[in-house]
Homo-oligomer: A and B are copies of this chain.
Amino acid sequence: MKAKLLFIFFCVTICFGHAQTDEDVLATVYKTSLTNGKSYEWLDYLSNTIGGRLSGSTNAELAVQYTKKELEKLELDKVWLQPVMVPKWVRGEKEMAYFETLGALTKVNICALGGSVATPSGGVKAEVLEVSTYKDLEELGEAKVKGKIVFINRALQPELINTFQAYGGCSTERYRGAAEAAKYGAVGTIVRSLSSRQDDYPHTGSMSYGELPVNQRIPSAAISTNDAVKLSEALKVNKNLEFYFEQSCQQFDDVQSYNVIGEITGSEFPNEFIIVGGHLDSWDLGDGAHDDGAGVVQSMDVIRLLKESGIKPKRSIRVVLFMNEENGLRGGRKYAEVAKEKNEKHVFALESDSGGFTPRGFSFDCSDLMFSKVEGWRPLFKPYLIHYFEKGGSGADIGPLKNDDIVLAGLRPDSQRYFDHHHAANDTFEHVNKRELELGAATMTSLVFLVDKYGTETITNTKEIKD
């Protein structure tokens, strides 16, 4: 054992002596992730042994315990759970739906949206009013809407290259559709799934009734893209057809849960924090492998890859596995609240929550000056085909940390396949490619290394680089 330790020491000395360039460090990080990564093995467990991890569920708590235990094995300086109360919404029985035209029933695939109320026992049956956006409802008014099931049939725009932009263009339909339709007396809403594919999977996601009184809330579900087309076609032939759906979801009181946090304490600036994270909760239909099992295991591997690559951070590096991004963002808010209470100086936060696909780069939310510094590192990433460094959003969980002194960043993987799987039963482990996942972890680790080495402040920066 001693001989082995001496050998490792010898290797590290050779590799990380004075001649070690940033290029060398990145090469080590990528090689380590691709030949000796842990992200895929962790994701296998989270996805296949645990499964979907909806906030407040037993699976979510199993994921808390599992990731804490795995972080403890990494021999970090600290690993702890940060308590946070989370909402508990439960889907209940599998939903059932069909439409009926002159006595002929056509079954369709739906799923309750997260936060929806149940239908009355025995379901809801009514005529359908198809609209292309909830905004049409105001003009149609109560006369046309009352007593109907509102079907919001808005497809993602395929011509947008960034599928997140296409998703963003429709997500309000899902989030506010039911609240708006209820205002005009609708008895339910059916929303076309926010999917970039034509298939049979309904995609869930959060919705809100806003300030709507409890007794006015109507059930809301997503319908698969294939069935949205089918229903729309059927309505062209028979606008009086009736739609039936039944769902038994329930909202319980908030329950105790946790963010999972691990830390390597900085050697020079222990009170400056760099965090990297993803969210531990997922929706319940699939196993949450892409959303956001991938971000969780990549973030865990960032802190491990730093160690494995012989990097000793100057600043304190934390991996934060946030709870409840999907239907509440309680974990992200709690983390920021505690950081503020403790007056912790956070200089950089990086989130991976866009799927475990081939990384293309990062988007940054920070001042132009800070961005110009960070962007200067782009050439180091060229050998790894990482080319995208742009200002833009970062991540939902790290958003609450925003202030003038922090750089927020989001990993930007290739977005083409993400919304094929997002929030649906086909967000499963077999759709994650090991190499793509590992490249993402290496890309994140490389950026964390550079931020730790050079800082994000633009004045310090120039000096440090010249040194």
Q: Write the residues of chain A forming the contact surface with B, with a CB cutoff of 8 angstroms.
A: 30-31, 34-35, 158-159, 161, 163, 196-197, 358, 360, 383-385, 387-388, 414, 416-417, 420, 433-436, 439
Contacts and interface: CB of A to CB of B under 8 A. Distances in A.
A193 to B, nearest CB: 16
Nearest to A162: B385
Given A197-B434, A435-B196, A30 B159 contact: yes
B158 A34 contact: yes
Contacts of A435: 158, 163, 196, 416-417
B385 A360 contact: yes
Given A360-B385, A385-B360, A159 B433 contact: no
B161 A35 contact: no
Contacts of A385: 161, 360, 387-388
Given A385-B388, A387-B387, A435-B196, A159 B358 contact: no
A159 B196 CA distance: 32
Copies in the complex: 2
A385 B389 CA distance: 11
A30 B439 contact: no
A30 B161 CA distance: 9
5 contacts: A31-B159, A161-B383, A196-B435, A358-B414, A416-B439
B388 A417 contact: no
3 smallest beta-carbon distances between A and B, as pairs: A387-B387, A31-B159, A34-B158
Contacts of A360: 385
Contacts of A414: 358, 414
A140 to B, nearest CB: 28
A414 B384 CA distance: 12
Interface centre among A197, A383, A433, A439 (most CB of B within 10 A): A433
Given A196-B435, A385-B360, A435-B196, A34 B159 contact: yes
Contact of A158 (B35, B161, B197, B416): B35
Instruction: With a 10 A CB-CB cut-off, give which of A31, A385, A387 has the most chain B CB atoms.
Output: A385
A434 B417 CA distance: 9
A416 B436 contact: yes
A30 B416 CA distance: 14
Given A385-B360, A385-B388, A35 B159 contact: yes
A360 B360 CA distance: 10
Given A159-B35, A383-B161, A416 B433 contact: yes
Contacts of A30: 159, 161
A365 to B, nearest CB: 20
Contacts of A383: 161
Contacts of A358: 358, 414, 416
Contact of A433 (B34, B158, B420, B436): B420
A384 B439 contact: no
Contacts of A417: 433, 435-436
Contacts of A158: 34-35, 435
Contact of A384 (B31, B161, B197, B420): B161
Contacts of A420: 433
Contacts of A416: 358, 433, 435-436, 439
A384 B161 CA distance: 6
A384 B162 CA distance: 9
A197 B30 CA distance: 18
Nearest to A33: B159
Contacts of A161: 30, 383-385, 439
A443 to B, nearest CB: 11
A211 to B, nearest CB: 38
A363 to B, nearest CB: 13
Nearest to A158: B34
A437 to B, nearest CB: 10
Contacts of A196: 435
A170 to B, nearest CB: 16
A290 B430 CA distance: 18
Contacts of A434: 197
A35 B388 CA distance: 25
A288 to B, nearest CB: 20
A159 B30 CA distance: 7
Nearest to A438: B158
Nearest to A387: B387
Given A161-B384, A161-B439, 19 more contacts: A30-B159, A30-B161, A31-B159, A35-B158, A35-B159, A158-B435, A163-B435, A196-B435, A358-B358, A358-B414, A358-B416, A385-B387, A387-B388, A416-B433, A416-B435, A416-B436, A416-B439, A417-B433, A417-B436
